[in-house]
Amino acid sequence: MRNKNSSLLKILIFYYGLIQFAHLIALIISAWQYHAQGTLSMLAPPPSGGWSQQATFFLIGLGAADALVALISVAFTVGYTFKISGTISLGRICLTASLFSALIFTLGTLPTGAWGENPLPYISMVILFTPVIALFFLLPDWIQ
């Protein structure tokens, strides 16, 4: 994609900002749920035995990092919309962080059996994230 102002790019960036804003809200709700009930289940439905203490700490740490990335992603979306300088570099950073976070989340939760026991939420996450992967692969052409 050579056109920085193409409709597809605008749609994908808007979608990314929207999904990251929703992710940030969900992380806040999940943090409140953990604080109130001591469980993590909204964003990462557990396997039948529940999350181990180590997995819980892993998910909390990843969630904290994701919250920061989500904030930066929303800033990127706003910056792109209002054509603020440096936005493309910010987009590269937050999209790379988002992809690594998704990979780490998958590698940390898939072997637990949680995906097999709760297929709908996890498949939904994959489907919702797929346009973000497409946006990431369009990045190398943004500046050309």
Is the Cβ–Cβ distance between 20 and 73 less than 8 Å? Answer: yes
d(CA 128, CA 98): 13
69-118 pLDDT, tens per residue? 999 999 999 999 999 988 888 999 999 999 999 999 999 999 999 999 99
Confidence (pLDDT) at 41:
87
The model's pTM:
0.92
Residue 2 has pLDDT above 60, yes or no: no
Stretch 10-24: mean pLDDT: 97
23-62 pLDDT, tens per residue? 999 999 999 999 999 988 889 999 999 999 999 999 999 9
d(CA 54, CA 83): 43
3-class secondary-structure state, position 10? helix
